[in-house]
Each structure stands twice: as C-alpha cells, then as structure tokens.
Structure 1
Amino acid sequence: MLPPSSALEHGADSHSAPAAPDNDDLAAAHQAWADGHWSDARLRAQKALATAAAHHDQRREASASLLLARALALESQFDWSRRFAQAALQLSRESGDEAGALEALLAVSRVESALGHDEEALRAAAEAVSGSRHLPLLHAAALDAVGVASLWAGDHGTARGALDAACEIARKQAGTRDASFQPLVDAAFAEALRGVDQRLQGRPVDASELESLLARARQLKAIGATAGLVQSVPRAALLLLLAFAEFQGAHLAGDAAGDDGHYLACLACASRLPAGSWMQSLAWWARLERAMVGRNPEEVLESAQALSHVSAMAAHEPMKRLAERVCAHAHEWLRDAPSFSATWF
C-alpha cells in the first residue's frame, strides 16, 4: 500500500523554492510507462513526486501524481489511483497548467467508472470536453472518456456517439495518424460489449458494425499507429481491448479458427500487463467462451471460476458485474453439459 505524500495532503507553493534538479526521474518514469515497464514506472514516479514536493514544484508534482494514478489504475488499485488523480487535478489547477488539469480529469473519469461511480465519471469527462474545445487532441481524449464512462454505465448509444465523435476529431484535427487508434479501439470494444449484452439477453446480434470498426483498427495497427491519446491508456492495454473485440467478432461469426487465434492474442497481450490488472479478466472471459464453443465442460468450469475470482479481486465494478452475467450464462450451459463436473459449479 502506498503512503500518502505530505505534499499531496498539504499542497505546495510553486513560487517559493528553487527549481527541481536536472536528474530527471519524472522523464524516466514516463519512458518506463511508454515502454511497458509498469513497476519501474510507478517506483520512478513515486521518487519523482517526492523530489518535486521537496522543491515545491507543483507542475512536476502534478505530472508525477497523474502518472501514479494511471499506473495504480492499471494495477487495479483504484482507491489510491483516485487519490492521486484528484491530487494531480488540484495541483494542475493551482499551478495554472490547463492541459495538465484536463488530463487529470480524464484519469478521474476512468477511475470513477472503475469504482462504479457513473455520475462522477461522466461529470469529470463532460468537464474535460467543455474545457478542451480549443485543444483538438485533448478534446478527442475527453470525448473518448465520455464514451468509456457511458459504456461502463450501460449507455451504449451515448458511448458510440461520443467515441465516433472522438475518432472524427482525432482523424481530422489532432494532426497525427496515431490519434484515432484509441477511440477506434474503444468503439470496437464498446460494440463488442453491446453484442455480448444482446446475446446474453437472447436477442439476435448484427456483427456488421463491429466488423467495420475492427477493419479500420486493423489498418492503423498494420502501419504501427497504435499509441494512446496523451498516454492515458498504454499501448499494451489498447492491444488487449482490440484482441478481445476481434475475439468477439470471430465468435459472433462462428469462426472457430479465428476464435483460437484471437484468444491466443488476448493471452499474449494480457501477459504484458500487470498480473493484478482488471484487464486479465478479458483473457479468462475469452478462454471461457472458447471452451463453450469447444464443448469442454471442465475447461468451462475452470475458466468461469477463474473469471469470477480475478474480476472480484480486481474490483473493477462494471467488469465484475459483467463477469457475473457471463458466469451465470456459463452456469446455465453447464447444467446441460455431459459432465458430472457441471454439478460443482
């Protein structure tokens, strides 16, 4: 557990102390994050935060706090992540860092969604949208945050509208080919979850929109345009979301070979993320559905138990609720499965 920084509790005066030293743990922390070295990024960010607090450098405190919020959220330490995201927001505002405050709002929105606080998540994302209209990249990121918050709140229509708008702004105005990858992947993931929701309700699913989104995402992936917006979501996480959406697309199309390939891609992507991340649930979910297609009751049982455990431990509330629905569906399947192990579920 992380001890609270005294600077975060008491604030700091950015005009009353000498500049921070040249040896830059903060830059190293950001590089470690970009390279997927999660523990190193978190430890370096903690060190950078302590140094910035000692030098009363609010902007660097805010940047280190924001990176800590992101790292802790990826590790599913959501309560601590929220503390650091809110601290980053306060410090950015006090130091007059408009872009930093907007990025902090995005972190607040994501962690509030993870905690199941839909209203707070949507409010933070909407505030970021309102404050970023003159900053195209951040505006696209803010609309993406609205989409993600709406998705986890169960509002698929609003989610797709916001994500489509984020894709369009990123493509036309942000000035980099990478910019539209994150909202495009989030839109594909949202569409995949909409299909899951319909399937679990016993309703027919039209997979054509999902396939269209996946085709566009594949084009960007093929040219290496896979960065996240303003480092808010790491590349490894985006690739796992894309692999899971691809798995669902193949699943809906009845493509067993595609199921296998995309399941293996989910495993590979999940292996590059922290073991305690809520995103590990996606790999177990894919394994569960693959086992059901293969009519393997023992593997269904094992996967359902693991999915239930991993999602409960990670405590990403909307993911946990989804896992409960998926496991309930597996329970129904197991009742008719030709195996005595079904009675253990």
Structure 2
Amino acid sequence: MNFDLTTEQQMIKRTIREFAEEEVAPGALERDRSKTFPKEIFRKLAELGMMGLPFPEEYGGAGADTISFAIVVEELSRACASTGITYSAHISLGGAPIHLFGTKEQKEKYLVPICTGESLGAFGLTEPNAGSDAGGTQTTAVEEGDYVVINGNKCFITNGSYAKFVSLTAVSGQKDGKKEISAYIVPTDAEGFTVIDNYEKMGLHASNTTELVLENVKVPKENLLGKKGEGFKQFLMTLDGGRIGIGAMAVGIAQAAFERALSYSTERSQFGRSISQFQVNQFKLADMALKIELARNMVYKAAWLKDQGRPFTKEAAMCKLYASEVCAEITSQAVQIHGGYGYMKEYHVERFMRDAKLLEIGEGTSEVQRMVIARQIGL
C-alpha cells in the first residue's frame, strides 16, 4: 500500500496550489461580498489545461486520474469554495456524463468545449418537487418526428448561466407502470430555454446557481445521452463521481479553516499567554488535524477505486458524508477559536462555515448518503 502521490500528481498539486494562492485566494472575500462569478479565474484554468483534467487527450483533456481531480478541487476550495464547487461541478457533473455515456460524435461536439473551457459543464437533475427523491422527476420529453420536445423545471443548477448546453433528465415514457427516465443534452440557447439566476444563498456566493425553465424546447433525437430509459441510472453513476468532488471540497475548506485557526491561536494572547497554550484549544486543533487527515484519505481511497475500475459507490458516499460533516464541525470550531473576530467577515472563517453547509446537502444529503451506505452493506 503506497500513500505517496505520483510524480504527475505532485506536479499538479504544486501547480494548482501556487495558482490558488496567487490567483484565487486574494479576491475570495470580495467576490463573496459582491457575489461576483470568477470568470477570469476559469479562463486562466483553461490556459493551464485544468478544465478537462481527467478526460481523454483526444477530446482536449489532460488524461489525468481522479486523484488529480480531487487534488485540484481541494486546493481551489482551500482558497475559495465558490471556485472549488464551480470546478468540481464542471468536471464531475458537466463533463463526466458525456464522457461516460456519450457517443463519439457527442463527445467531439460537447466534451471538447468543456475540456477547453469554452463552455462550463452543468447537469440538470434536481427539480422543485424532486430533490432527494430524484426519481420523482416531472420534466417530460415527448418524441415528435425527428425531435424530442422537453417541458419542465430544474432547480439549484450549478453553472447554468455559463453552460452552452446541459445534460438533464426527463420522463420519456412509461415502462411496466413506472416512469421511464432518459437523459438528453440540451443547448441553453434553444428556443424556450430560460436560465434564471436570482437565488439568494447562505454561502458560496461567488458560484452560479440557477433555475432552468424549459417550455417546448426541441432537441434532435440524437441528443439522447446513453440509452433511452437509463437516464436515472446514468445520473446515479455520475453522482458517485461527483461525491468525490464534494468530499475534496470539504477537505479543502476544512484545511483552510484549520490553518487560520492554528495561526490565530498562536498570535492571539489572553490571560498573559497565547491561546494556543491552553489545552482546550490544543485539543480542538489536534482533533481538526486528525479529522482532516482521515477525510482526505477517504477521498483518495474512493478516487483510487474509481481509477482502478472497481466499485466505489460505498466509498464515494462515505467520503462525501464524513468529509462534509467533519468540514461543518471544523469550520464551526475555527469560528469558536477566533471568538468575536470569527464572526467578522475579514477573518474569513465565517465564510468557510457558511460555505461548508451546502456540502451536507448537495449531491445527496447526509441522510441519503447513509441510505446508500446501508444498501451497500446489505441492509
């Protein structure tokens, strides 16, 4: 068992950490305040060749592995979680389903612009009445000649305003008395397709979260992604990979909170000595370091299993569940160690705490992860 990163992974980590510290971190606080999407950062990430990192070189990707993807998500999230979630969704939700289930023609047409950064990747599963119960999809896709006509709503869609096309699920018929759900690639500039960006969120203010409204949107039949009736199954497989991204995000945010809490504790004096000398704070910081290490190892294990072509559904759920809950705990403790200053925006840790909450909700709530794990252990 070898815990060392490969030479390539080490190089990617060095490159992205330097980029994150120089290009991403300096404006993170202001972007959060102004809710400004980091467009320029993603232009530069495209120049670095990061936008198609784990996808094949023939489609403009870098041919890297899932561990490398996790490293990039962690480092970006350590600097700015809004940037981290934008990148994670772009790869794991936007590009992955096209890579996994698309035809060669679809990959050439749709995966290439994702890899080059020409389009951000987005994925439409959640609906106003279909959250944890994604099988409750109400969006419909009806065949009319050579086209499919799609009607419905999708909500909480990351990157919707910056995606030139979205992979989404729709009910395409009935089979054995049950909904037949299929996936389609839908251009966002199609007639009848509206992207609404007016959510007011608790955190991740610099990321783009939208509602999609589809009114008689016509797409060619060849925009079917994968096999008809297998859209729901395909998107569950996509979410397994996405959960590795959420786990990596959680590790990055937790790492940033830990580093600020550690630094503050050595600088802040009370009762005649630095607060890092009080055992209560030493224990808090020791627990933070412990839990971050365990979470990162779980993320890497899930990523490694995926790269080996082995089952990783259970481990992806575990890494997402554990890392997200640990992140929420660590960011809260970081605020506590800062005391009153932790409640002030300029000390960053309150932003980490707000950003962390989404990770216990998105891509399957903590409760859903426990359901997945329970099924995987035979319950």
Query: TM-score range with shorter-chain normalisation?
Result: under 0.3
Query: Which protein is richer in strand relative to its size?
Result: 2
Query: Which protein is richer in helix relative to its size?
Result: 1
TM-score (norm 2): 0.25
TM-score (norm 1): 0.27
